Amino acid sequence: NAGVTQTPKFQVLKTGQSMTLQCAQDMNHNSMYWYRQDPGMGLRLIYYSASEGTTDKGEVPNGYNVSRLNKREFSLRLESAAPSQTSVYFCASSQGVGGETDTQYFGPGTRLTVL
Amino acid sequence: AQSVSQHNHHVILSEAASLELGCNYSYGGTVNLFWYVQYPGQHLQLLLKYFSGDPLVKGIKGFEAEFIKSKFSFNLRKPSVQWSDTAEYFCAVNGRGNKLVFGAGTILRVKS
């Protein structure tokens, strides 16, 4: 099992450009999450999907959209990138349907720089 | 709303020293508690977790954490650190009906 995979690993964008971050998991997990990690702020939840076909906003959803394409894949889209979106983005998945006791499994991250 | 506070952002220890990383949370109800670790260049992985039962939880690599409900704390401990423990450590809390909330992280550097 590859676990949680993310593409790309690195990306540089200019302000106003758009891009989609891809995430896939092969553990047959129900829930998937997108976080951003900024120095001194830990991980903050952007969006999550408790099950296939549903998505919900997290703590910092502004400027982002998501698509739960199927049970395996959960993509994050930046429609018009801004320098404030420079961050490391992590995708995660967990077995339950938004379960509180679930362990989340993380991908390797995407380091995004917006100039 | 839930929040998690990690007291120290940077900790530097010599090998064989004892480690205690503080974590306090604010949430009045039942909580599930986690410590995740991120080694340099790697992604986050679970170190240990507490859901119920014995408040002293043992995790991987000799780490343990104690849940003290009256203090809203879940401190991480290790009796003797190794150079390979150099990493960033995150405390996370999940209250009923809520999503996982992470602390700001503590960067641990162990000097050999």
- CB contact under 8 Å between A101 and B98, yes or no, is no
pLDDT tens digits for range B74-93: 999 999 999 999 999 999 99
Residues of chain A predicted below pLDDT 70? 1, 98-100
Output the pLDDT for position A115: 96
Which residues, listed in sequence order, are joined to residue B68 by a DSSP beta bridge? B73
Instruction: Determine phi and psi for B83, rounding to 5 degrees.
Output: -55, -35
Measured CA distances, A106 to A13, A89, A91, B36, B54 (Å): 24, 10, 6, 10, 27
Give the CA dihedral B8, B44, A33, A40, nearest 10 degrees. Answer: 30
Do the bridges between strand A10-13 and strand A110-114 make them parallel or antiparallel, or are there none, so unpaired?
parallel
Partner residue opposite A48 with nearest CB, options B34, B97, B99: B99
**Residues of B near A (CB-CB distance < 8 A)?**
4, 6, 9, 32, 34, 36, 42-46, 49, 51, 90, 94-105
Determine the pLDDT at residue A99: 62
Picking from B42, B97, B102, the nearest residue to A43 by CB comes out as B102
Q: Residue B96 pLDDT > 70, yes or no?
A: no
Is A43 within 8 Å of B45 when comparing Cβ atoms?
no
pLDDT recorded at residue B97: 63
Put simply, the answer to whether B105 touches A40 (Cβ < 8 Å) is yes
A98: Cβ contacts below 8 Å, ≥ 6 apart? A31, A48, A50, A51, B99
Instruction: With beta carbons less than 8 A apart as the criterion, state whether B35 and B91 touch.
Output: yes
Instruction: Decide if A106 and B104 are in contact by the 8 Å CB cutoff.
Output: no
How many beta-carbon pairs below 8 A join chains A and B? 50
Q: Which pLDDT score, from 0 to 100, does residue A23 have? A: 97
Q: Give the CB-side neighbour count of residue A17, counting CA atoms within 13 A.
A: 13
What is the distance between the alpha carbons of residues A100 and B4, in angstroms, rounded to a whole number?
16
One-letter amino acid at A98 equals: G
Angle made by CA atoms A13, A18, A22, in degrees to the nearest 5? 90
For residue A98, the model assigns a pLDDT of: 60
The angle subtended at Cα B74 by Cα B99 and Cα B47, nearest 5°, is 75
Encode pLDDT of B40-49 as tens digits: 988 899 999 9
- pLDDT tens-digit readout, B15-32: 999 999 999 999 877 889
**Strand ranges (DSSP E) for A39-82?**
42-49, 56-57, 64-68, 74-78
Cα–Cα separations (whole angstroms), residue B50 to A67, B20, B34, B57: 32, 17, 6, 7
Q: CA-nearest residue of chain A to B41?
A: A108
Provide the pLDDT for residue A100: 66
